[in-house]
A and B are shown apart, each in its own frame.
Chain A
Amino acid sequence: MNILIIALKEIKTTLRDKRTFTFMLLFPIILMLILGTALSNAFSSTTPVGDLKLLYKSDIADKQLTQFWQSFSQAIEKEGIVSVPIEKGVDGKQEISANHYAAYAEVGDQGIAYYGSSKKTIESNILQGMLTAFADKYNLAAAAMATDPSLAEGIIRDANDSAAKYVKETSLIADKQPGSIDYYAMAMTTMIALYASISGTLLFWVEKKRNTIVRMIASPVSKGEIFAGKVIGCTVINILLVFAVMLVSKFVFQADWGNHLGIVLVVLVTEVMLAVSLGLVLSYWKGDSARSIVMIFTQISSFIGGAYFPLGNSGESFMGFISDLSPLRWANQALTKIIYNGDLGAAWPAIGLNVGIAAACLFIAVVSMRKKEAF
């Protein structure tokens, strides 16, 4: 109950803070509108797929499956996708890591194994979409081949008749790319979620400044309850503010948030948790200067994480490596895949990193709090 009382107080006082409201609500919305409008020409509604390169290794012994694969290769090549057979002694996975190809497929009698590039995420997802549709039929045929070749023959024949469908279907997915307002709706929302770290640094600083921490500690409420109440209240209010930004972008600016809002919200919630915890632990570690550190950190993270301009593929460069360290980058990559490719699995790395780092920060903050006489 005490936790709830403190959390509600936290929410109430934040809601009445005009500066927080202006910063956390108006700032991202205005920025979304300005950048989304000003840079609309920089975004294309279609993605050229001519430079998509698929490296493949074919170990198919069966003649029918070989023909099946070749017909698929031809079909995708007609759409401008280059499929390159792997040379002897070349490691396909390393080629992907080296960013030479968007994807690598190992095709055999047992089925197709797919390796996508984490650098060329959009291209990789397009190819994955194509291959997934094809691989379903291929794997089915491969399995049937082992037990009933005549059945497999039928599957392949049917599939060959509509080989182009795989390409056609996936090209629909490839067409679904963010417009400028879509991109900045997502980028500003993830950016403002990261700005919750400022609230984290202020959690106990404000109570100390107002001297109200004295009353709280003097009351028969444990330090743990005070800590939990404040952290929960701060997290909840920041989540509400992030949701508000998201809703405005969706219903006022008609931004596309995809068809999987639930998992999108989970990614955003975990990002807020990460931000609040990070701010909190910094306030224990660096005291009054934590706020400045967090401001610099969030600005840099926003810049390198794609808040102000789309990053595309991060590549192998040093900047690419730095960019991958930004929590905003994790969130934006995950949300892009969820919204535009329907790849729900892409949420897990972002959620895992956010929750993991948040838990570590909270643990350090709790240990620091217990060591201190007050807070």
Chain B
Amino acid sequence: MNVLEIRNLTKKFDDFVAVDNMSLSVSEGEIFGFLGANGAGKSTTISMVASLLRTTKGEILLLGKNIASHGKFAKSNIGIVPQDIAIYENMTAYENVSFFAGLYGLRGALLKERTIEALEFVGLSDKGKAYPSTFSGGMKRRLNIACAIAHRPKLIIMDEPTVGIDPQSRNYILNSVRKLNEMGCTIIYTSHYMEEVEEICTRIAIVDHGKIIAEGTKEQLKAIITDAKDIWIGVKSERPSAIDNLKQIPGVISVRLEDNVVKIASKGEINNLNQIVQQLIKDQIEIRSVEEQAPNLETVFLTLTGRNLRD
């Protein structure tokens, strides 16, 4: 059963087409990854699903019902975790969750029970009386999630829920996403961290210029790219100018530097490894390791869109 179905969805801002005749469906129990660079149209799409924006054309069905005519039903069954933390600093953690759950019609003992449950779920049950101004970034992110789940929505939209937090909090949140999914929630997950998407999403859509350009499981997406390879070269020292030189080598699609590893996406049919290594030596970069890999999701994204996810 499809929890969400988007049919020929279009959104225009004056003459700018942010979402262009997009169609997709998300089945019950999925963790659906929604990937796209800034301005690709994913936030606009999510905003229309969450009824934050009106559609220009097309329809959105939640649990088979059109959200345009069943707005209250749709809203009651969606929980949204916005990218920017959306909580009141001068209300306690408990009051925050309780207030937002109250807007979903929860009252009295049930409201109390669900509020406590949501706080427990995100590991903040002992912080109920504390104000978010005393919280770390990770704790605020967890409270941000608690505010979206107390009413037990069928579909949870998580927009970059792990931005700017420590690895420990990130793991906690990723585990929470899995747990929510096990509890029966369908999740739409957007992130700039490709490894997160690879780790938890069961299906992924890549959005570019308001259109879905690829959709499937991570294996299916990787299979699309048969003519690409990843070359990872461990280096002792980093020098940004050396990266620019590597980009000039035939077949190189992109080069990025991460934690003393030069990550190169290259066309598969061109054998340019020797040239790459020679260029690094010429630029006096000390090489520690060289590794050729099958393309990962980031390479897929880069090859399909021509852009880095963080662009």
Contacts and interface: CB of A to CB of B under 8 A. Distances in A.
Given A5-B99, A214-B80, A374-B52, A219 B88 contact: no
B82 A211 contact: yes
A212 B102 contact: no
A26 interface: no
A1 B111 CA distance: 14
Interface string A1-28: 1100110010011001100000000000
A17 B90 contact: yes
B85 interface: yes
B103 A220 contact: yes
A367 interface: no
A13 B76 CA distance: 25
Given A215-B82, A218-B80, A16 B104 contact: no
A115 to B, nearest CB: 55
A218 B78 contact: yes
A217 interface: yes
Interface in B21-67: 50-54
A325 interface: no
A218 B86 CA distance: 12
A210 interface: yes
A208 to B, nearest CB: 10
B100 A220 contact: no
Interface residues of A, number: 22
A343 to B, nearest CB: 43
Contact of A5 (B51, B53, B102): B102
B54 A373 contact: yes
B183 to A, nearest CB: 21
B102 A13 contact: no
B86 A219 contact: no
Nearest to A18: B90
A16 to B, nearest CB: 4
B75 A220 contact: yes
B265 interface: no
Contacts of A220: 71-72, 75-76, 103-105
A219 B147 contact: no
A217 B51 contact: yes
Residue of A5, A6, A210, A220 contacting most chain B CB atoms (<10 Å): A220
Contacts of B89: 210
A221 B91 contact: no
B142 to A, nearest CB: 16
A218 B48 CA distance: 10
B81 to A, nearest CB: 10
Contact of A221 (B54, B85, B103): B103
A13 B80 contact: no
A218 B51 contact: yes
Contacts of A217: 51-52
Contacts of B52: 214, 217-218, 373-374
Interface string B233-247: 000000000000000
Nearest to B107: A1
Interface in A177-225: 210-212, 214-221
B84 interface: yes
B87 interface: yes
A211 B91 contact: no
Given A214-B52, A218-B52, A13 B86 contact: no
Contacts of B75: 218-220
Contacts of B82: 211, 214-215
Contacts, number: 67
Contacts of A373: 52-54
Contact of A219 (B85, B104, B107): B104
Nearest to A226: B103
Nearest to A221: B103
Contact of A13 (B71, B91, B100, B148): B91
Contacts of A17: 90
Interface string A106-130: 0000000000000000000000000
B104 A215 contact: no
A215 B100 CA distance: 7
A210 B80 contact: no
A374 B53 CA distance: 7
Given A211-B82, A211-B84, A214-B86, A219 B91 contact: no
Given A13-B91, A220-B75, A373-B54, A215 B105 contact: no
Given A211-B86, A218-B75, A5 B103 contact: yes
B66 to A, nearest CB: 16
B78 A215 contact: no
Contact of A215 (B53, B54, B147): B147
A219 B71 CA distance: 10
Contact of B90 (A5, A13, A214, A218): A13
Nearest to B50: A218
B130 to A, nearest CB: 14
Contact of B103 (A2, A13, A210, A211): A2
A191 B91 CA distance: 29
A13 B89 CA distance: 9
Interface of B: 50-54, 71-72, 75-76, 78, 80, 82, 84-91, 95, 99-100, 102-105, 107, 147-148
18 contacts: A5-B99, A9-B88, A12-B91, A13-B88, A13-B90, A17-B90, A210-B86, A210-B87, A210-B89, A214-B80, A214-B84, A215-B86, A216-B103, A217-B52, A218-B80, A219-B104, A220-B71, A220-B75
Interface of A: 1-2, 5-6, 9, 12-13, 16-17, 210-212, 214-221, 373-374
Q: Which 10 A-B pairs have the closest CB atoms?
A: A211-B86, A219-B103, A220-B75, A211-B84, A16-B90, A220-B72, A218-B80, A218-B50, A220-B76, A212-B86
Given A1-B107, A218-B50, 14 more contacts: A9-B91, A9-B99, A210-B87, A211-B85, A214-B80, A215-B100, A216-B103, A218-B51, A218-B52, A218-B78, A219-B103, A219-B104, A220-B76, A221-B103
